Each structure stands twice: as C-alpha cells, then as structure tokens.
Amino acid sequence: MVAGELPTPAADVYALGIVLFELLCGRSPYRGGSLFDVLARHESCFPVPPPGLPSLLWPLIEGCMALDPADRPTATAVGKRLADVESGLADLPALASLDPDELTWWLRSPGPASGVASVDRQVTWVPVHAAPVSPAGGTPA
C-alpha cells in the first residue's frame, strides 16, 4: 500500500501486524520524523522485537509485517495462531514501557536476503542516539 498498490487482504494483515505491535509496545515500530520518514521506513526497514516481547508472538507479528504481501499469513491463519498462543500468554506480565529512544526498527540490508531480527538469538539493544546508523537521523538510504 505504501508504494501505491491497490489494497488487498494482505494489506489488512500488514495493518494488523502494526496494530499488534502498537498494542504490545505502546507505539508504532516505525515512528519518528516526518510522515515521509515513517512511510519510507515501511519499505526500507524491518521491525525488531522490543525487549521482553513474548517469543510466542514475535513470529506472528513479524510475519504480518512481511514486506512482500505474498509472504504474509492470511487473516484466518493469524486468527488461528492468536487463538493457539492465547493460553501461553495468560500468566505473562505486561511489557515494560519502552524508553523513547528504544530502537524498534532497522534498515534492511541491500540484496535479496534482508536479514530479520529473531528473538531466538542474542540482540544487543541500544538507544537510537548510540546506534551505528541512527534511524532518527532522517530518511533511510
């Protein structure tokens, strides 16, 4: 949709991924800067899981926010997956509020393999102002 394509059900799934992220984290994964900056991040960046995000949910959110609509699950599959993980989330505490400088997106690597953050590997969280390429410094290249 950001690139001007006609809306499809996959666009709704993408929007659901954004809403799930916002519900859990209290803000959009691509926030900050001008409207142009935020829209550009939807195409040039990938979301990263904030600290403490339940590992049961991240693959679902990540899948919903896949850049290629063909890679996103169907709305039916998302609903089933949410129902499947509901019992595993029941006793988890709420996520702590994110620091305003908490990094929630990163630039995609050029080429076919973008590399996506995973909760199964160690991620070092750094404030935006300390990131090697500061996402807050304008539009991504």
Residue 48 resides in a domain = yes
Q: pLDDT tens digits, residue range 3-62?
A: 667 889 999 999 999 999 998 888 889 888 888 888 888 888 888 888 888 888 999 999
**pLDDT for 116 beyond 50:** no
Q: What's the burial of 70, exposed, middle or buried (CB within 10 Å: 0-12/13-18/19+)? A: exposed
How many domains does one find in the chain?
Answer: 1
Residue 1 resides in a domain = no
Residue 49 resides in a domain = yes
pTM for the whole structure: 0.71
Residue 52 resides in a domain = yes
